[in-house]
Amino acid sequence: MLRRLVKSASLGAALAASGALLFLPPAVKRPPAPPVTAAQAWPAAQRGTVPADLPDGTAYEPAFFVDAKDSVGTAPTRDGKFLRFLLRKADGSLRQLRSLPISRDPSFDSPVAAGDVLVWGEGTTGHEELWTVNLRDGRPPRLLTADVGDARFYQSQYDIVVADGRVHWVAAPSDEVTEVRSVALGGGPVDVRAEQGVWSLSAWPWLINGVVASAGTTMMRNIVTGQDRTIPSTSKSVTGCSPVWCRVVSLADDGFTRIELMHPDGGDRRQIAEGAAATVIADVGVLDRFEVLSQTTSTSELTGNVQLLVYEIATRSTVEISPDAGNVSYRGGVLWWSTGNQESFLRHSLDLRTVV
């Protein structure tokens, strides 16, 4: 309510003045300042580039980065008859780890490292096994176990977890039961523990539910202690969690996306992105420090690429990784993406473990 400060002003003049204010155009909302680049924010972080093809001209697909420069991935043989699983080093050297016939529909799934030891799933038509190799001692890979059950891999870095000297994964004998399976890293019999419901592995020793549910995660379970945590959720959002952070994606009233982070108990909830922002990897709050996001741009519809961003949780700041990124992946602390188009592109990597 206006205060009557100037007695000499007429009521008509006051009304005219207030009416003029009502019809002033609203202040223009300034767009947010562009985020700083990764080179500016994290100059000491380790980065690398990986050519799309091997020296023999075959297409190389990274599946895991040991660090920012050395990677493990797949490439067909030149005759197209076999799919190779390779260690590709920064100096250009290649070490073939495994090779499977293309005719058997092969896959090398969910590699994970524990020190110098790499573990992965190896699939062919109707069959899955776990294999392991030491990346430094030169010895050949060995079969860890063929007793994997109906193994389920959800494109998460936790599909296979190495902890307490054992390799852990989940299998699904039915829609109502999840088997948490494990085998010693040195080999041996497989231990099987049945849990009611559909669960996936997270950072050990936690399970999360909701991996195939529309609402996402509503419960976490400590596989060692049996402790359960209920995750706050609403019907209008999708929640994904790690033991430390949960990501909540919802549709705002204006039709745009809103992305929030919170702890599993609902604490420290904060909005980190909105509008044309989207999630781009399965894992939440990676390294308990970062959330990886994408933002569509004016050229995204034409190129299929996005602006790649990382929200740094401690500083509450957003950093631009690439203005024009495609094929974004993350595993084991390293983020990688491509720039260019489908005919000609270059892969880039950033080791988030080296951000200081």
Among 281, 210, 196, 166, CA closest to 220: 210
Q: What is the pLDDT of residues 265-317, one digit of tens each?
A: 999 999 999 999 999 999 999 999 999 999 999 999 989 999 999 999 999 99
- Domains of the chain, earliest start first: 34-354 (2.130.10.120)
The angle formed by the CA atoms of residues 242, 234 and 243, to the nearest 5 degrees, is 10
What does the alpha-carbon distance between residue 329 and residue 145 come to, in Å, rounded to a whole number?
27
> Which pLDDT score, from 0 to 100, does residue 31 have?
55
Q: What is the sign of the dihedral through the CA atoms of 219, 209, 169 and 135?
A: negative
Across the chain, which distance is largest between two alpha carbons, in Å?
Answer: 97
pLDDT, position 256 = 86
The span from the CA of 144 to the CA of 137, in Å, is: 17
DSSP 256-318: -EEEEEE-TTS-S-EEEEEETEEE-SS-SSBTTTEEEEEE--TTHHHH--EEEEEEETTTTEE
Distance CA 147, CA 182 (A): 10
Report pLDDT digits (tens) over 4-38: 233 333 323 332 333 332 333 443 444 567 899 99
Task: Give pLDDT, residue 32.
Answer: 63
pLDDT of residue 208: 98
Give me the helices (H) in the chain, please: 11-22, 38-41, 300-303
Tens digits of pLDDT across the chain (356 residues): 333 233 333 323 332 333 332 333 443 444 567 899 999 999 999 999 999 999 999 999 999 999 999 999 999 999 999 999 999 999 999 999 999 999 999 999 999 999 999 999 999 999 999 999 999 998 999 999 999 999 999 999 999 999 999 999 999 999 899 999 999 999 999 999 999 999 999 999 999 999 989 999 999 999 999 999 999 987 789 999 999 999 999 988 778 899 999 999 999 999 999 999 999 999 999 999 999 999 999 999 989 999 999 999 999 999 999 999 999 999 999 999 999 988 889 999 999 999 99
On whether the CB atoms of residues 60 and 73 are closer than 8 A, the answer is: yes
Interatomic CA distance for residues 196 and 306, integer angstroms: 39
Question: If DSSP codes are grouped into helix, strand and coil, which group holds residue 252?
Answer: coil
- Whole-number CA gyration radius for the chain: 25
Output the pTM of the full model: 0.89
